Each structure stands twice: as structure tokens, then as C-alpha cells.
Structure 1
Amino acid sequence: METYKSEFIEFLVACNALKFGEFTLKSGRVAPYFINTGMFDTGEKISRLGHYYAQAVTAHFGDNFDGIYGPAYKGIPLCITTAMGLAARGVDKGYLFNRKEAKTYADKSTLVGMALTPETRLILVDDVITSGKAIRESIEVLKNNSNPKVEGIVISVNRQEKGKGEQNALAEVADILGVPVFAIVTLEEIKTYLHNKEINGQVVIDDAMLEKINTYLEKYGAK
């Protein structure tokens, strides 16, 4: 496992953004784990988050793109901090995000940030993907604003769960949109790294919790 991935997993735990227990998800599934990227709630945390997103973006796309797009609302700080993380790595790119509500005065554009052309190459960033609704809405917004090229999508964690069918939810979105989707880490990597590992004096995933996760994935999991 790459160093930035193991560091990111420990970062998720330290920020309480990755929790284990019993959580009822929007889908109605009762999961033994939950990911809440809203816990990156300080300047230092969001800055570090951008560092990890930037590493994932460059790992998969190098510098072969022009900007980072984030769907409102959670994608707004993500696209900005990712662009900052890239700049710190010597890859200076643009960023932009959409407005949920159109302005009725001055600049009435539905987008905020870098200018677009049909040749602009974008990487979309988001926290996690469940149904892909926000991403699909973003694609439509972009089509109506110069129709730039979407090269791919990067999210924080691939939960490796089924979507509406038997396929991995990320794979479903990738097939529907025709673009690759990558995650900084997968649930399998999280399980492997954290099993019986002490962080700040506490074992995050013991044998009992690992069994609960595996039982859940036997029902809802998809590689």
C-alpha cells in the first residue's frame, strides 16, 4: 500500500471521519461503518485532506488535465483544497464549482471559478458516491457550460458496496457516465490496514468488528 493511503486511513480515524458501530444509511442498509467527510472542520484538516486528494489525482491522471471541479455543496471545499494541494506539488491548475441556486443579479453564471471551453479537461472530486446523483447533475451543468471534457472522478473512499444492481456503485457510475472513478482508498485497504492495529492506544477494527464488516459485505458488498 502506498504511504499516502495508509496515512489517509489514519487521518480518517484521527478526525473521527471514519466510525465503526451501527449506522442506518440513507439507503436503509444498517452498516457497521460510516464515513463522514464533514468532520474535516478546521483549516489544518481540510488542508491535509487536499494533500491526499492531490496525491490521488496525480497518481491516476498525472498533470494531464486543466482543472478540478467540485459539485455543491461538499465538493466546493474539496475542489479548492485539492487545487491548493496540487499547487503545493508544483501542479498549478484551475478549479470551479456550481451554484445550487442561480443568481438573479450581476454575474448570473451557474458556475464559479476558472473559465471553460470545449477543450478544457476536468477532474471531478467528491466525498463519496452512493447513487451518483450529484455527479450526474454536475455533468449536465457542465454540458450546458461549454461542455468541457470530464477525464475522471476522484472520491475519498470506495465503500465497495452494490449500487442499484449487483455491480459496485462506483462501477455503475463509471459505466453510466463513461468516465473512470477512483478512490483514495478502498474499504478492503481500510480493513487490511486497521485490523488489530492500535491507533492512539486503541484497536479500531478488532476481530469482532472485522466479522461484522465481512458479514455486511457478504450481503451488500461488490468489488
Structure 2
Amino acid sequence: MSSTTLAPYKVEFLQAAINGGVLKFGSFELKSKRISPYFFNAGDFYRADLLRAISTAYAKTIIEVEESSSPLDFDIVFGPAYKAIPLSTSTVDKLADLKPEKYEKMCYSFDRKEAKDHGEGGKIVGAPLKGKRVLIVDDVVTAGTAKREAIGKIRQEGGIVVGILVALDRMEKLPAPNGDDPSTPMPSAIGELRKEYGIPVFAILTLNDIIEGLKGKIAKEDIERMEEYRVKYAASD
């Protein structure tokens, strides 16, 4: 697979997601009850080569942001339990491989769903968060609830959330309060998080990336259905 519009690491990640069955095309009912023509499940990156692919993509996205005009300075990569725990730990490992001069001593942390009442106790495993700048790494943002909970836990521990990195930005609006009417302008969950917390939210891939990167490489009907879905549920932000 090759693309003139996507960075090589994005193309490689997209190919790995398809080869590993992480990114599928068809008809899928989401939590929002919308019927999506594609489905992305980062929980399926459980094989060594696939975990390597996603951690590399996270790390290269971080490095790309670092080298941009708006660099991100952080001390800890945080993975909300449970799905993001291996994502955060493997990303730290990959960062140290790709840029040891900057990330050799980078730390990770993750939370417990329930506080441990014996041993070292507490709700956080890994590096202490107090006074540290924290980057949250996770798979996707659906409604934003899980990210708000993670931000709350990090702040409780004295950490400072400086950004969020997800694997995929679906670029779709939240359901309207009076029903999921496609004609009602609504922001995206990612847009709401940016506005509410004043922090950047990045993604390895967006829906635009998937569509543009796969034109001529998957069935034309699948591309057309994704384009229609994008128009129907496009966020206002």
C-alpha cells in the first residue's frame, strides 16, 4: 500500500490495521446506535507484530508533534485501564527505541479500576503523577466520558494533563440531546474535550486519512459508504 497524502508511518499503520482485522468494513452498530460502514477495535492489536505496529505509530505521532511548531512537553505516558495499559507501556518502549536521547528515561503510569487496599495501595500503577506533565494515550474518543474520568484521576494525584493521543479520530459529531438528527449541528467528542480542558487532542489517523489512504485499494462501495457517513455525521468543530 502506498499513498501520496499520508505520512509513511500512517500508511504502514493503516495497512497493519487492515491486515490484522482491526479495521473492518461492512455494517456495524455503534454505542450511539448509528450504523457505521467501518469499525476499528484497538483491542485487537494483541499480537506481537500488531502491538509493535500501533506502538510505533503512537511514538512516531508523538515525535512528529514534538518536531512541529506546537511541541508537546510531557514526563509520563498514561494509559487508562484497561485497554490502554499495553498501549501506553509499549509506546514508552518504542519512544526509547526511536529517540533514546530524549525518551530513554520516559515513564508510564496507568490506573486501577478499584483502589488496592494492601501492599503499596493506591489507584495508580507506575510512575507517581504528582507535579508531572502527563500525556494520555488511548484508542478512540466516543463520548469522552472515559477521558474525563482519566483526567480527574490524574488531577487527583497532582498530575497535569498536557494532551491526549488516540489511535483514531472518527470526526463525527455527538448525538443531539433531542435525538440523533443528522441535520442538527453538533461538535465532536474530541472537540468538546479540547474546549473543556484547553488541551490538544491528537490522532494517528482520522476518518479522512482512512478514506484518502484507501481509495483504489478497497472496494469502491466501501469508500462511498464512508464518504456518505462522513457527510451525514460530520462534526461542527
- Please say whether Structure 1 and Structure 2 have the same fold, judged by a TM-score greater than 0.5: yes
Give the drift of 1:164.
4.1
Letter matched to residue 53 of structure 1:
Y
Q: Deviations over 1:195-215 (max 9, x none)?
A: 112xxxxxx2x2222221122
- 1:122 aligned onto 2:134: yes
SS at 1:27 equivalent: coil
- 1:110 aligned onto 2:114: no
Structure 1 distance, partners of 2:66, 2:198, is: 16
- 1:69 aligned onto 2:78: yes
Q: Deviations over 1:113-134 (max 9, x none)?
A: 012222x111110000001111
Give the % identical residues.
37
In structure 1, the gaps of 5 or more residues are 198-203
Give the drift of 1:172.
1.4
- 1:158 aligned onto 2:163: no
Aligned length: 214
- 1:58 aligned onto 2:58: no
Contact 1:50 1:82 in 2 (8 A): yes
Structure 2 distance, partners of 1:74, 1:171, is: 22
Structure 2 distance, partners of 1:103, 1:183, is: 32
Give the drift of 1:191.
0.5
Change (3 A) 1:183 1:57: same
Structure 2 distance, partners of 1:216, 1:42, is: 30
Structure 2 distance, partners of 1:22, 1:132, is: 23
SS at 1:153 equivalent: strand
TM-score, normalising length from structure 1? 0.91
Structure 1 distance, partners of 2:64, 2:175, is: 29
Match of 2:232 in 1: 219
Letter matched to residue 54 of structure 1:
A
Contact 1:163 1:172 in 2 (8 A): no
- 1:193 aligned onto 2:204: no
Letter matched to residue 62 of structure 2:
V
Structure 1 distance, partners of 2:161, 2:113, is: 20
SS at 2:110 equivalent: strand
Which of 136, 144, 151 is 1:132 aligned to? Answer: 144
Match of 1:87 in 2: 96
Letter matched to residue 169 of structure 2:
N
SS at 1:68 equivalent: strand
Which of 140, 150, 168 is 2:188 aligned to? Answer: 168
SS at 2:122 equivalent: coil
- 1:47 aligned onto 2:70: no
Q: Deviations over 1:167-196 (max 9, x none)?
A: 122111211222110000111111111111
- 1:21 aligned onto 2:23: no
Letter matched to residue 94 of structure 1:
C
Contact 2:211 2:223 in 1 (8 A): yes
Structure 1 distance, partners of 2:202, 2:64, is: 10
Contact 2:13 2:53 in 1 (8 A): no
Q: Deviations over 1:26-63 (max 9, x none)?
A: 11000100001111112222122111111111211357
In structure 2, the gaps of 5 or more residues are 1-5, 177-185
Contact 1:136 1:177 in 2 (8 A): no
- 1:207 aligned onto 2:212: no
SS at 2:21 equivalent: coil
SS at 1:72 equivalent: coil
With 162-171 and 32-41 compared, the bigger mean Cα shift is at: 162-171
Letter matched to residue 65 of structure 1:
F
